[in-house]
Chain A
Amino acid sequence: MPSSLALKVNGVVIEVNPGTTVAVAMMLAGKPCRTSVTGMPRGPLCGMGVCFECRVSINGTRHCRSCQILCESGMDVRTDE
């Protein structure tokens, strides 16, 4: 198992340990997961797939709950698509 894996958050490469969720990768990248309907930055709240605040696009699939998804090498994560 590699000691770290690389994925892209809004085009910027970041490295994480295996077993890290995408929500954590977003926090490590210093990015809010989404912008609310009135333009406020939002990050994870519940950490368990209930609140939907951490939703992002992953490899083109929108509205993925990033706290429930593990990072994979080469993943393309985008916010507010």
Chain B
Amino acid sequence: MNSTAYEKFDVLVVGAGPAGMAAAACAAACGMRVGLVDDNLNLGGQIWRTASALGAPPEAVKWIERVRAAQVKILCGLRVFDQPKAGLLFAEGAEGICELQYDKLILATGARERFLPFPGWTLPNVMGAGGLQALVKSGLPIHGKRVVVAGTGPLLLAVAAYLKNCGAEIPMICEQASWGRLLQFGLALPAQPGKILEALCLKKELVSVPFLTSSWPVAAHGDQVLERVTIARKGRSETIACDYLACGFHLVPNTELAPLLGCRINEVVQVDKFQRTTIPGIFCAGEPTGIGGVELALVEGQIAGLASSGREADARKLFPKREKARKFSSALERAFRLRPELRSLVKPDTLVCRCEDVSFAGLQSYTTWRAAKLHTRCGMGPCQGRVCGPATQFLFHWTPDSVRPPIFPTRVESMAAVSRRSEPQEQLISGGH
């Protein structure tokens, strides 16, 4: 197996979305030797996926250019799966494994969509909202296709506008939040002119699309593939034909790597004003510290980049900007909080764990995530609970327990390479989730 080891980085950044790119560019501008590692094939993360293509937001282009100009070592297509000892991460890619040594580490691992189980949600062509957008960006023809967009969060509007622009027909957007909640959210925005502009631009695209509030999917139907979806709104339901259901319930932070390294977590990664985690030399920026959007991610990334390079005074100058962006973050949380009715979408035979096909009925008798895992294999499949974990957290109030390496399914050869580099007293548990 091919193994690559790089010279030790002064600052290593995990995640090349807005927070990670801002962190890497700032640290490199301070003269640090910086590495930027990401699972995806390109810079930009999920929000700026294929931002190098036409129509990329100017902000994305600016940061990609800054990262490139700053001589950051870009390591795309590599996913970090273990830290056998402090200061050394292992990552796996198509070509083999990679040893990444660091002095300072910045975690910018971003967020993923939250999925909630409902009857039929496992049918092919029922996807995340961001999920469908990502597939369209990677070549899926959507022109003339009928796409119902549903769930919650600002991503729904962005995805609907994008798909409509690509020629999709959007019969409706179903947002679970009420008008009242959204109105409060709108009122919280005047301090954010950039956000208003964004909202208005989206509205122009979507002027002919019905936007239903207090509305959600109750079932997806089809034989081998999605054919129709039933939408509930104000006690009534309606079934409509569609090619795709793009359905995501806002975002959850990717917080698997931080606890593996010993950083304290309380739903989100705990950081101080300089974005320092509870482990010395490890920083965290962007969505893992709380879902807050691009502006907050960028400013947190810059602060982490500067602070990790010993430029606390410069980092401090960005605190007011971060405060402002945080207001948007708390407004988001209030507006798109999941309503309790969504807990009744799942039926006894609805699958909750898609990897191991564990139904809701199969989980009901357990009181903890750990007990459910041990008895049913829920969360023990390849996604390691990344999909069903947030769902069971909402449905049962279960919280995930300890994280063990590898934090991604990893080839046996890669695990063997790690064990050769581990401290002799350490016990490695391969794949034991």
Contact = CB atoms under 8 A, between A and B. Distances in A.
A32 B224 contact: yes
A45 B387 contact: yes
Given A47-B128, A68-B39, A68-B40, A21 B409 contact: no
B180 interface: no
Nearest to A18: B139
Interface of B: 39-41, 46, 77, 79, 94, 112-113, 115, 122-128, 130-135, 138-141, 224-225, 354-357, 381-383, 386-387, 409
A16 B140 CA distance: 10
A49 to B, nearest CB: 6
A24 interface: yes
A1 to B, nearest CB: 14
Contact of A68 (B41, B112, B123, B355): B41
A69 to B, nearest CB: 8
Contacts, number: 104
A27 B128 CA distance: 15
Nearest to B139: A20
A44 B127 contact: yes
A36 B354 contact: yes
B138 A19 contact: yes
A50 interface: yes
A3 interface: no
Nearest to B45: A48
B133 A47 contact: yes
A32 B124 contact: yes
Nearest to A70: B41
Nearest to B121: A45
Interface residues of A, number: 33
Contact of B382 (A24, A40, A43, A63): A63
B74 to A, nearest CB: 16
B134 A67 contact: yes
28 contacts: A16-B139, A17-B139, A19-B138, A19-B139, A20-B139, A23-B135, A24-B135, A37-B356, A38-B357, A41-B124, A45-B115, A45-B128, A45-B131, A46-B113, A46-B115, A46-B130, A46-B131, A47-B127, A47-B133, A48-B40, A48-B134, A51-B354, A53-B354, A63-B382, A68-B40, A68-B41, A68-B77, A69-B94
A21 B225 contact: no
Contact of A45 (B138, B354, B382): B354
B127 A24 contact: no
Contacts of A52: 355, 381-383, 409
Scoring A45, A49, A67 by chain B CB atoms within 10 A of each residue's CB, the highest score goes to A45
Contacts of B139: 16-17, 19-21, 24
A51 B386 contact: yes
Given A38-B357, A44-B127, 9 more contacts: A21-B138, A36-B357, A43-B127, A44-B131, A48-B112, A49-B79, A51-B386, A52-B383, A67-B138
Contact of B131 (A19, A36, A48, A69): A48
A78 interface: no
Contacts of A47: 127-128, 130-135, 138
A39 to B, nearest CB: 9
Contacts of A63: 382, 409
A24 B133 CA distance: 12
Contacts of B138: 19-21, 23-24, 47, 67
